[in-house]
Each structure stands twice: as C-alpha cells, then as structure tokens.
A and B are shown apart, each in its own frame.
Chain A
Amino acid sequence: MALLRINNVSKHFGGLVANRDVSFDVDQDEVVGLIGPNGAGKTTLFNCIAGFYPVTSGTVVFDGQDITPLRDFQVARMGLARTFQIFQASGDLKVVENVMVGSFMRTGSRGSARRAALEVMEFLGIAETAGEMMTELPVAAQKRVALATALASDPKLLLLDEVGAGLNPSEIDGLIALLQRIHTERGVALLLTEHVLEMVMKLSHRVIVLESGQKIAEGEPAQVVKDPEVVRAYLGDHYVKRQKEGGDA
C-alpha cells in the first residue's frame, strides 16, 4: 500500500491547464524526485497534494485516506508536511520558537514542544542558533530552520519545493547528506522538486518527469536520464551543461 497515491489529478486555472491526469505513488521507504522544465506544473501539483488548491479532478490518497476534499491545515495534521519555495522570515520569533510552532501540531504543552523542537534542531545541526532571531540568520540557515519546523511536526511524508535554490555547491552537498539522514534515520518519505539536478539524481530512488503539466516519464534516475523523450524535453540543455560545469570545477 503506497503512502501517497495520486490518481489522475488535473488542475485547471480558468482555461489554463496546469496539471493533466497525473498519477504516481510514493512509498513510505522512498525518496521520489519530481522534475521538469520551468512551468511544467511541479509547484501546482505540490499545492494540490498539500490541499492548498482544490484539484479540478482526480483524487489524492494519503495513508489510506482520501485527502482530496481536505483543507491544507487538515492535510498537514495527517502527517504531510511541506516547505515553501519562497521562504521569507520577517517575524519577531526566535529560531527555537519558530520550530516550536511545528511541534505544537503534535502537543499542547510548551515543555514538550520545546524539547521536540530542540531535538530536531540538534538532529539538523542548528541547535546553537536556537536563541537567535530569524531575521538575523543567513538564507541557508533560514532554510534549515524551515526544514526543522516542518520536521518538528513529525510528518510521514515531506514535500520539499526547491530546497536547494540559492545555495552554493558545498551547501548543496551538505543538504543532500542531511536529507538522506532525514529519510533513513527518521523514516520520513520525501517528495522533492528541484532545479539542481544532481541533488535529485543522487537522492531519489525514483524520478517522475513532468512536462506541460503531464507525466512523460517515470523510473530510476539512471534510466530516466537516458529516456529520449526526457532528454528532448528537459535535460538536453540544462543537465549536459551543468555536468560540464561540475567537471571543470
């Protein structure tokens, strides 16, 4: 039984079709990558899964329950957490307080929320920033706090929307290691979209390729890369170029 099952999901905005009949599964012990060129409908699909948008047709089943009609906060309570592509910290919360908001999803007690938050921060290696204000942190650290907050809600599945965006290569290596540990040590299934393709290729057990809102390929990273359809649609320019750059450095 798959943890997340997406059945023929379509999403229209007026006349614009953002997703068309997308179907795939994510298992509990899996890391799945969702890739595709800009405007392929990855973020829209995320928003549909997370209950942020209502789907036009199709169903989303999570943990054996049909979550299609649920609102975003109800989906979150089921154990489906997410991070946002654009993350802006503006508030007057300290880092640990920010993470506690995540753990408050599972407990009403401030003491246990705090303990859970500190444990997650320890795990992610950001415990020393606990007392600082969010706005004082660099972007990479802010992203880790956002990750910590999502993890603190103790999810079964984590949707990661472009977590690597804006990070430098060494930061990306660190993030890959971290996400692997989140998956293996905490048993959280991951579904990620990413522009930084090495990250998807290294992390994912399985890759799903979207183009113009439709699924055009699915399989192991190594296979998908060879799929002529995929190469034509997407990898043709970007991946090859990126590989070269990586080789030079």
Chain B
Amino acid sequence: MEAVKNAFDFGDMPRNELGLAAVVLAFLLSFPLMPHSSFGMATMIQFLMFSLYGMGWNLIGGYGGQVDLGKAQYVGIGAYTTAVMMIRWDVPFWFSMPVGMALAVGWSFIIGYPLFRLKGHYFAIATIATSLVLKDLFEVWNFVGGARGLEIPLKGDFPNWLYLQFREDYYYYYVILGMFLIGFIYMNGFRHSRLGYQLRAIKDNEHVARSLGIDVHWSKIKAYAVATAYVAMVGSFHACYNFNIEPEDTMSLDLSVLIAMMAMLGGAGSMWGPIIGAAILVPMKNYLGSWLGGQAGFAGIDLALYGMIIMFIAAAQPRGVYGIVEAMRARRR
C-alpha cells in the first residue's frame, strides 16, 4: 500500500514543476487530436520511447552514478524476444513483453555481478564490451535471423490489440504514452523507496553508505535490474512498432550512447532529466535529418551538426540542461 502512496506522492517537487508537468501531460494526451504530420507523430513516439530508455538509464547512471553505455543490449533482448515468440509460436505482445523483460533482467544479473565491481571509465567501457559481444552473437545466430534480422508478419484484423499491430500511428502513440505514464509513476515510487534513497547515498559516498548497512554491490545490481526492465519493455514495443528488427538498429553502440546522452543532456539524476533530454535530442536529430540529410551531396551534414551541438552542450554545460534550471533556482534563494 505504501508503495502505491509513494508512487503518487509528488509533494517534494516544487509547485511550478508540477504545474509544468500538468501542462505537458495535457499536451501529450491531446497531441493526436491536434493537426500533425506523420513525421511529427513518429517523432513524438520516439520521444516517448527514448524518455523511457533514459529513465532506465538514469536509475543506474543518474541515481547510482555509473555511466552505462550498454543499454542497447536490453533493447535487443526485449525486441528479439517479442519478435521470435510472435513469429515462431504466435505469442501475443502482452505475454512476450514480460518474458522479454524477465530474460533481460536475468541477463543483467549475470553480467551485473562482475560489472559492478568496476567503476568510472572501466565500468563504462565494459558495458560497451558486453553489448557488442551480444550483438555479434545475434548477427551470426540463424535462429534469430542473423545480420538480416527478423520481419514480423502482419496478423490482419486491424486494429489488433493482441499483437500490437495497427494501421494508424496514434494507436501506437497511446500505447507508448501509457507505458510512459506507468514508467514515470513507478520511477517516482522508486525514488521514494528504500533502494532509491540508498542509491543516492551510494552516489554521494560509498564508504558512508556501507557504514549504514547498505550492501553497495547488491544495491547496484538490483537497481540495474529495474533499469533493464524499463529498457526491455520499450524494446518489445520497438519490435511491434517497426515490424522489422536487426542487430544493427536494436543493439548498436550508437543506440546505447544515444540513450545515455538523453539522460546526461537533460541532467543525470533528476526525474525530469531524461524527459528533457529526449524532448531536445529526438526532435533535433529527426529535424536535422529530414531538413539536411535528404539533400543530395550533403550526406552526413545533419549528423555532423548534431555532433557539434552535442560537443557544445557538453563543454558549455557539463551538468546538463537540468543543471541550468538548478543553478537558476539556487541563485533565486
């Protein structure tokens, strides 16, 4: 009971942040009703997906203070579980998604145990290594389609809620928005849980945390498992939304780093960080791509610009956009 109460307790957030959140929520709920292009809709869906990825990343990267650059492997596990189960055994999305989450969490325990003995750069690069190993395996594993990946067959009978197959994008939008809201509220509860407080104490000072009876290693592994569940859930959605998955787009280093960048850009360790980061980076990347990327003879100019902007942000505001908000708040006091 208390867990539910904690999840809906927003009392420790500043009043103006709550007001802003209400406006954003109203906008998100009504977005499909407003005039929009299919490009705009796709961008919004991606925004919600990356917000959730970022929330997962933030658990261990933000609250736990360790930079994870291997999140894509869990996107892949979620996506492949759903796709394989749907193609081979006709299993509906709502069953395969929890299975994918469970498999991903299981894998996260296996690699988390050795991983969390590492810190700093060593941890970050080791997460890349595990993710690349898994990707290489999937690229040669015929059962999951190898490098060419998998294509999910259409089941017909649209809108098909069981297999999450729709003709119109706004169905997908509301499904991922539902996941987003559940994810956000769960995160708020997590923040108020014993593990949530302990993680923040660990980030502050591991020695002090241990002297307060916290098993630092095990706490990190547990938080990592929760983070993994978030990412794998969206991975399953990704498979249904794209109909087509391959190791390159579900497990690449680029995806892992993009996830990390969302949360870092927004400000690691804050509730809003991943959402702010996704709200900036996803549209920026998409619009730069559609504006410049399509022009003949200028391939790469969009991403070069994108890289420049990222460099600039990292150099000018190392604590992320939310750091600016916090600095402003501190000055007002």
Contacts and interface: CB of A to CB of B under 8 A. Distances in A.
Nearest to A152: B212
Given A92-B200, A108-B194, A110-B192, A102 B2 contact: no
Contacts of B198: 101, 104
Contact of A84 (B200, B204, B208, B213): B208
Given A101-B197, A104-B194, A104-B198, A110 B6 contact: yes
Contacts, number: 78
Q: Could you say which interface size class chain A belongs to? A: 20 to 34
B37 interface: no
B193 to A, nearest CB: 7
Nearest to A98: B201
Given A104-B197, A113-B194, A88 B211 contact: no
Kindly name the residue among B194, B198, B207, B213 whose own CB sees the greatest number of chain A CB atoms within 10 A. Answer: B213
A210 interface: no
Interface string A67-81: 000011110110001
Interface residues of B, number: 23
Interface in B271-303: none
Contact of B201 (A72, A93, A150): A93
B254 interface: no
A133 to B, nearest CB: 9
B205 interface: yes
Contacts of A72: 210-211
Nearest to B270: A92
B212 A102 contact: yes
Kindly name the residue among A72, A84, A101, A149 whose own CB sees the greatest number of chain B CB atoms within 10 A. Answer: A101
A50 B200 CA distance: 22
B208 A100 contact: no
A82 interface: yes
B132 interface: no
Interface in B128-151: none
Given A101-B198, A104-B194, A91 B204 contact: yes
A150 B212 CA distance: 7
A76 B197 contact: no
Interface string B1-35: 01000100000000000000000000000000000
Interface of B: 2, 6, 192-194, 197-198, 200-201, 203-205, 207-216, 269
